[in-house]
Structure 1
Amino acid sequence: MPAATRAPFTPVGRFAPSPTGPLHFGSLVAALGSWLDARSVGGRWWLRIEDIDAPRSVPGAADDILRTLEACALHWDGPVWRQSARLARYDAELERLRAAGALYACTCSRRQLLGAVGGVYPGTCRAAAHPFGPRTALRVRTDDTPIAFDDRIRGHQQQRLASEVGDFIVRRADGFHAYQLVVVIDDAEQGVTDVVRGADLLDSTARQIHLQRLLGYPTPRYAHLPLAVDAHGAKLAKSSSAPPVDRCRPGPALWAALGFLHQAPPPALRGASPAELLAWAVPAWRPERIPATAALRAPAP
């Protein structure tokens, strides 16, 4: 019989913004970096709206982000996923973790934890055997086995969760699922092979790998891009009223984002349309040129 043939490997990336305001330059950098990383190797690129934290979501922001991505010619594959439609899946995976003995209920308030050394959870409720309830925070057990990974931009990383983070929350006391849990489930179920995102999430990666291992999920490759910061070193953010990308003139923002990522677009393309810029950028994508630093000054708008 002929040898079985292996299905061709298709890289899969994603962009997962929170709908807390319009797309600004820092978010555009993350979207562009992940889009180019996928498209440069013929991969798929999913779009996921991280609206799990309903109180922070701004009405209309998700659609505004989608329209801006379309204006920038950053087109995605397949339907848009929305975390708010996937609560049952998150509950099911929480139940798997609970059944495996990986979780415990925590009644600690933020005020009680203000004195925690280095912000590390001291394990106050670990052995308390509090009953599980719909309004009880749930923490996942950790240990000090080193969790190591090689970031494609920042190089070798290692963290000991028990001593550097502590047992961390996967469901909040208000009933909302925690980011660390839902991003792991979504990445696994969307078949994401390459996570390209901002450096502010580098410290979350070991926690996510821990959950991947507990749930039997594969671990994707990671690449953490420098954050775009203002003249005072503050991260550009929707909450600090960072100016939105101009949908009527998206080309200059894309040009600036390519320069921010040290991709050096040719001067002849200054003023080009988004489609023309991306047609150049896909075959020219060189992630090794991106500085291995936590932050870079954003260009003046």
Structure 2
Amino acid sequence: MQPVFRFAPSPNGLLHLGHAYSALLNFDRARETGGRLLLRIEDIDATRCRPEFEAAIYEDLAWLGISWETPVRRQSEHLADYRAALDKLTALGLVYPAFESRAEIARLVAAREASGPWPRDPDGAPLYPGDAKSLSADERTRLIASGVPYALRLDMAAARHRVAGLSWNELGEGPGDERDIVPARPEAWGDVILARKETPTSYHLSVVVDDALQGVSEVVRGQDLFNATSVHRLLQLLLGLPEPVYRHHGLIRDGEGRKLSKSDRSTGLRELRAAGMTPAGIRQLVGLG
């Protein structure tokens, strides 16, 4: 079977060296294996994603010498796919609405921490501290009907009860140079958000749906998403989706060791190109020369 790879940026800013590294790795892997390279635009966040940034993605990737198959999948055009997956999880009794605002959640966490440390996910964010799971069906219906904003969360305990022996096949560089079979621990993320009232999906849900529908066989992405793979593997099994192999690569960092940001002009592809940098020079900068 022909391998399928994908590069999936969000059009909420201009690409930087870290994006170039990931895109080039996917492009090179596709060429080395005789595979296909897909480009996916992850534009679910309507408040931050802008058409000019999407146009810049195409321009910058083409300048790097990267080619991809068309048509490009834009997430905002496939909301029905994510809604169908969410409906399936809901039918399994694994989704519930939580009505606390971000400020209310922060207050709940502070109250919990008054008596000791409150658990945090691998990215450092506190786990959901609320008790929305205990609300009756009538109370949930009343709150939704009254227009209260809500997030749809995965009941992690119930989901884990359905799935045992969770792991993934890692070909790349985990935080400890982990390779081969990696045990998945999605419970470390707590009751993750799958969608919101105004948006029928989240990154976790849409990425597994997209990869399955596009036939992605090898996911090449940064180490910053290594731990999130636990959640993705859980959702794949719950939804009956195929399992790709994963290749997590090291991150390109700034001079102080921080992960690059789209606001960091010193590493932006547009600025580097304007300063006379060539595509070959970009390859050398990211260690692919």
Instruction: Choose between structure 1 and 2: higher helix proportion.
Output: 2
Question: Where does structure 2 lack aligned partners over 5 or more consecutive residues?
Answer: 110-117, 121-125
Superposition pairs of residues 1-301 of structure 1, within 5 angstroms: 9-114=1-106, 115=109, 116-118=118-120, 119-122=126-129, 124-129=131-136, 130-131=140-141, 133=144, 135-143=149-157, 145=164, 147-153=166-172, 154=174, 155=179, 156-162=181-187, 164-175=188-199, 177-245=201-269, 246=273, 249-257=278-286, 259=287, 265=289
Change (3 A) 1:239 1:177: farther
- Identity within the alignment, %: 37
Paired residue type of 1:120: L
- Alignment partners' CA distance in 2, 1:161 and 1:250: 39
- Alignment partners' CA distance in 2, 1:244 and 1:122: 38
Change (3 A) 1:11 1:243: same
- Alignment partners' CA distance in 2, 1:242 and 1:210: 38
- Alignment partners' CA distance in 2, 1:104 and 1:69: 40
Paired residue type of 2:285: A
Paired residue type of 2:242: P
Of 31-40 and 147-156, more deviation after overlay is shown by: 147-156
What's the C-alpha RMSD, in Å, of the aligned pairs? 2.1
> Is the 8 Å Cα contact of residues 21 and 238 (structure 1) preserved in structure 2?
yes
List per-residue Cα deviations over 1:233-254 (Å, max 9, x = no partner).
1111213445322277322112
Question: Where does structure 1 lack aligned partners over 5 or more consecutive residues?
Answer: 1-8, 266-301
- Alignment partners' CA distance in 2, 1:82 and 1:224: 23
Q: Between Structure 1 and Structure 2, how many residues are aligned?
A: 251
What TM-score does the superposition give when structure 1 sets the normalisation length? 0.77
Paired residue type of 1:255: Q
> Is the 8 Å Cα contact of residues 236 and 242 (structure 1) preserved in structure 2?
no
Change (3 A) 1:188 1:256: same
